[in-house]
Chains A and B, each alone.
Chain A
Amino acid sequence: MHFVCCIKQVPDTAEVKIDPDTNTLVRAGVESIANPYDVVALEQALRLKEQYGGRVSVISMGPPQAEASLREALSLGADKVILLSDRLFAGADTLATSYTLSCAINKLSHEHPVDVVLCGKQAIDGDTAQTGPGVATRLGYTQFTYVVAVDWINTEEKQIQVRRKVEKGSEVIRGPLPALLTVELELAKPRRASLPAIVHALREPIGAWDGSAIGASPKELGLKGSPTWVRSISSPPAKIGGPTFDAGEDLAEAVAKTLDVLFSDKSFAIKLAKRWEA
Chain B
Amino acid sequence: MAKNTKGIEVAEIISDKCIACQICIGECPVAAIQLTAEGVARIDPELCIGCGKCSESCPVDAVLFEKKKKRRLRKEERGIPPEAIPGYEGVAVFIEISENVGAQVSWELAGKARELAEALNSKVMGFLLGSGVEAIAQDAVAYGCDEVHVIDDPQLEHYLPVVYGKALADLSETLRPEVLLIGATHLGRDLAGVVATHLRTGLTADCTGLAIEQETRLLLMTRPTFGGNIMATIFCEHKRPQMSTVRPRVMRPPEKDEERKGVIRHHEWTPPMVELPILVELIRDSADAEGIDIARSPALVVAGRGACDPSTFHLLEELAHLVGGAIACSRPVVESGFMPYERQVGQTGKTVAPKLYIGVGVSGAIQHLVAIQGAEKIVAINSDPKAPIFKVADVGIVGNYLKVVPELIAQLKKRVG
Contact = CB atoms under 8 A, between A and B. Distances in A.
B366 A227 contact: no
Contact of A145 (B21, B190, B198, B279): B190
Given A11-B226, A242-B394, 11 more contacts: A91-B21, A125-B226, A133-B191, A133-B197, A134-B193, A146-B186, A167-B187, A176-B275, A223-B23, A227-B200, A265-B377
Contacts of A266: none
Given A91-B25, A242-B396, A259 B411 contact: yes
Number of chain A interface residues as a range: 35 or more
B185 interface: yes
A243 B396 contact: yes
Contacts of B400: 247
Contacts of A224: 26
A174 B160 CA distance: 11
Interface in A119-143: 124-134, 136-138, 140, 142-143
B323 interface: yes
Given A11-B39, A173-B279, A247-B398, A230 B194 contact: no
B225 to A, nearest CB: 6
Contact of A228 (B37, B234, B347, B398): B234
Nearest to A19: B16
Contacts, number: 332
A167 B235 contact: no
Nearest to A18: B230
A240 B391 CA distance: 6
Contact of B285 (A134, A140, A169, A175): A169
Given A175-B276, A242-B393, A262-B395, A168 B284 contact: yes
B40 interface: yes
B196 interface: yes
Interface of A is mostly: mixed
Contact of B407 (A90, A145, A252): A252
A223 B26 contact: yes
Contacts of A241: 390-394, 396
Contacts of A155: none
Interface stretch (A45-53, A74-82, A106-114, A231-239): A231-239
9 contacts: A22-B16, A127-B347, A130-B205, A133-B161, A171-B280, A232-B232, A247-B407, A262-B377, A272-B324
Given A95-B202, A172-B280, A224-B26, A17 B39 contact: no
Most buried by B among A18, A94, A140, A232: A232
Given A140-B274, A142-B277, A242-B394, A232 B59 contact: yes
A252 B394 CA distance: 19
B279 A16 contact: no
B174 interface: no
Contact of A231 (B26, B40, B230, B235): B235
Contacts of A137: 165, 193-194, 197-198
Contact of A13 (B27, B226, B415): B226
Given A27-B38, A236-B224, A245-B396, A129 B229 contact: no
Contacts of B194: 133-134, 136-137, 143
A100 B399 CA distance: 54
B407 to A, nearest CB: 5
A215 interface: no
Given A140-B274, A255-B404, A273-B417, A90 B196 contact: no
A166 B161 CA distance: 13
A235 B224 CA distance: 9
A167 B186 contact: yes
Contacts of B393: 241-242, 244
B276 A230 contact: no
Contacts of A167: 98, 185-187
A273 B59 CA distance: 49
B298 interface: yes
Given A223-B26, A247-B400, A95 B203 contact: yes
Interface in A130-164: 130-134, 136-138, 140, 142-146, 161
A242 B395 contact: yes
Contact of A131 (B193, B275, B278, B416): B193
B193 A129 contact: yes
A133 B233 contact: no
Query: What are the 10 closest A-B residue pairs judged by CB atoms, nearest first?
Result: A247-B399, A175-B277, A133-B193, A227-B202, A223-B26, A275-B324, A244-B396, A90-B25, A13-B227, A228-B202
A199 B232 CA distance: 40
A155 B378 CA distance: 54
B324 A130 contact: no
Contacts of A161: 280
B39 A166 contact: no
A205 interface: no
A65 to B, nearest CB: 5
B415 A263 contact: yes
